[in-house]
Amino acid sequence: MRIVILGTGAFAVPAFKRLMLGPYDIAGVVTMPVCNPRGAKTVITPVRRVATAAGLEIFDPENINDPVFLPTLHGFQADLLFVCDYGKILAPHVLAATRFGGINLHGSLLPKYRGAAPINRALLNGEPTVGVSVIHITPQLDAGPVVAMSEPLPVLPEDTAVEIETQLARIGAELVLSILPQFAAQLDGSGGTLTAVPQRDEFATKAPKLKKQDGEIDWRRSAQEIVWQYQALQPWPKIFTWWHRKNAPESNNPEPMRLILGRVRLADANAVNETAAGNVFKTAGGNAVIEANGVTGEGVVPGTVLEVSDAGIMVATGSGVLQILEIQPANKKMMPAGAFLRGYPIMPEDRLSDVEV
């Protein structure tokens, strides 16, 4: 089978490498153009790096759907387009340029999380499991019939999008290699046992591309939701907040400082009890007690710093206490909370918020 690879990001690399091992003929590799932002280093995408190392011919049209690229597509004389983490929706005439059209390896259990950021959006919503699907491509975004789907993969408490993407990319590569022979046999009429199952659109959810502002923490949300936000937004855009220094001298009156948070977790019952014991946190509205289950009592404004130590920074949320383990001030490196506190004295009653002023 003669295959054209369409891919850009790291998620496509394991499947790409497996396809190169055969018995398939890779006619060419189509990827996004080299990104060279003004004043920045040239960014070589993972798929381009692998294709270059393998000596494969690379094509990088600005718009693959432009009719000017159509003769190139036909020139491949390919049987199939394999698409994964490419970055463009394919027009009907592109899909018609090969014998069998195209298949796409997508990072979700479709029809959930159609779109550019399925893994991130699943983690952001606290999904307990994730997975991958292989679909026969149609012009609608990730809406084609499903020809194969992985078993659900449990999301562990320590998993971030980085670990999940690595695992799903490996699972996806195996899934693609397992179904390609049957897929080809079915399409050319020589057999095959695959069944293309239409997606049920009423169960579809969207997974739009991430934006920088997705990382801004709303402290009115629960501690668990903020942990999910941290897991989902690695390695970009990460989660961030603004530090308002209540205890700073009035003459100093420092501006709010933007902080990027690294590892965070729910404050466990023991840590919460230690924070509360003999040190009931007082606010202008009265006393607030941190309960054993980690839920702040009435009177603490979400985002209020409750306790600081080398073990972390305890912060009240809309429900529960968040323990910040790593933190990065502007223009500095990520560091453990204890190291941060030695240079930046966050104090109880200081506020973290989702707005600069």
Residue 290 has pLDDT above 50, yes or no: no
Q: Choose from 82-91, 179-188, 270-279 the range with maximum mean pLDDT.
A: 82-91
pLDDT band at 278 (very low <50, low <70, confident <90, very high): very low
Residue 183 has pLDDT above 50, yes or no: yes
pLDDT band at 314 (very low <50, low <70, confident <90, very high): very high
Tell me, yes or no, whether 243 and 324 share the same domain. yes
Tell me, yes or no, whether 186 and 306 share the same domain. no
Residue 2: how many CA atoms within 13 Å on its side-chain side? 12
pLDDT band at 36 (very low <50, low <70, confident <90, very high): low
CATH number for the domain that contains residue 93:
3.40.50.170
Tell me, yes or no, whether 36 and 122 share the same domain. yes
Tell me, yes or no, whether 40 and 104 share the same domain. yes
Of the candidate ranges 76-90, 154-168, 287-301, the one whose mean pLDDT is the lowest: 287-301
* Selected residue with higher pLDDT from 179 and 246: 179
**Containing structural domain, residue 308:** 212-353
Tell me, yes or no, whether 195 and 316 share the same domain. no
How high is the pLDDT of residue 38? Answer: 62
Tell me, yes or no, whether 335 and 254 share the same domain. yes
Instruction: In whole angstroms, give the CA distance from residue 8 to residue 58.
Output: 11
Residue 34 has pLDDT above 90, yes or no: no
What is the tens place of the pLDDT at every residue in 203-225?
A: 999 999 999 999 999 999 999 99
Query: For the whole model, what pTM was predicted?
Result: 0.89
Tell me, yes or no, whether 216 and 197 share the same domain. no
Q: Which of 171, 203, 235 is the last residue of a domain?
A: 203
Q: Which of 164, 181, 203 is the last residue of a domain?
A: 203
**Distance, first Cα to last Cα, the chain:** 60
Tell me, yes or no, whether 187 and 241 share the same domain. no
How high is the pLDDT of residue 193? Answer: 73
How high is the pLDDT of residue 124? Answer: 98
Residue 170 has pLDDT above 90, yes or no: yes
How high is the pLDDT of residue 270? Answer: 52
Instruction: In whole angstroms, give the CA distance from residue 110 to residue 270.
Output: 40
Rounded average pLDDT over 13-39? 88
Q: How many domains does the chain have?
A: 2
How high is the pLDDT of residue 98? Answer: 95
Rounded average pLDDT over 335-346? 94
Where do we find the tokens 């993969």? 153
Q: Quickly count: other Cβ atoms within 10 Å of residue 334's Cβ.
A: 15
Which residue in 112, 124, 215, 130 sits closest to 171, CA to CA?
Answer: 130
Instruction: In whole angstroms, give the CA distance from residue 27 to residue 244.
Output: 57
Residue 97 has pLDDT above 70, yes or no: yes
pLDDT band at 277 (very low <50, low <70, confident <90, very high): very low
Please enumerate in sequence order all residues whose Cβ is within 8 A of that of 92, keeping only pairs 6 or more positions apart, or say none: 139
Tell me, yes or no, whether 12 and 124 share the same domain. yes
Tell me, yes or no, whether 37 and 158 share the same domain. yes
How high is the pLDDT of residue 280? Answer: 38
Give bridge partners of residue 153 from the DSSP assignment.
130
Instruction: Specify the long-range contacts of residues 54-61, CB closer than 8 Å, at least 24 apart.
Output: 54/20, 56/20, 56/26, 56/28, 56/29, 57/28, 57/29, 58/28, 58/29, 58/30, 58/31, 59/28, 59/29, 59/30, 59/31, 60/30, 60/31, 60/32, 60/33, 60/34, 61/30, 61/33
Q: Which of 170, 203, 236 is the last residue of a domain?
A: 203
Residue 294 has pLDDT above 50, yes or no: no
Of the candidate ranges 4-18, 66-80, 285-299, 302-316, the one whose mean pLDDT is the lowest: 285-299
How high is the pLDDT of residue 354? Answer: 80
Tell me, yes or no, whether 183 and 221 share the same domain. no
How high is the pLDDT of residue 249? Answer: 54
Tell me, yes or no, whether 182 and 282 share the same domain. no
How high is the pLDDT of residue 255? Answer: 81
Q: What is the rounded average pLDDT for all residues in the chain?
A: 88
Please enumerate in sequence order all residues whose Cβ is within 8 A of that of 255, keeping only pairs 6 or more positions apart, or say none: none
* Burial letters 122-155, b for 16+ CB under 10 A, else e: bbbeebeebbbbbbbbbeeebbbebbbbbeebeb
CATH number for the domain that contains residue 341:
3.10.25.10
How high is the pLDDT of residue 11? Answer: 98
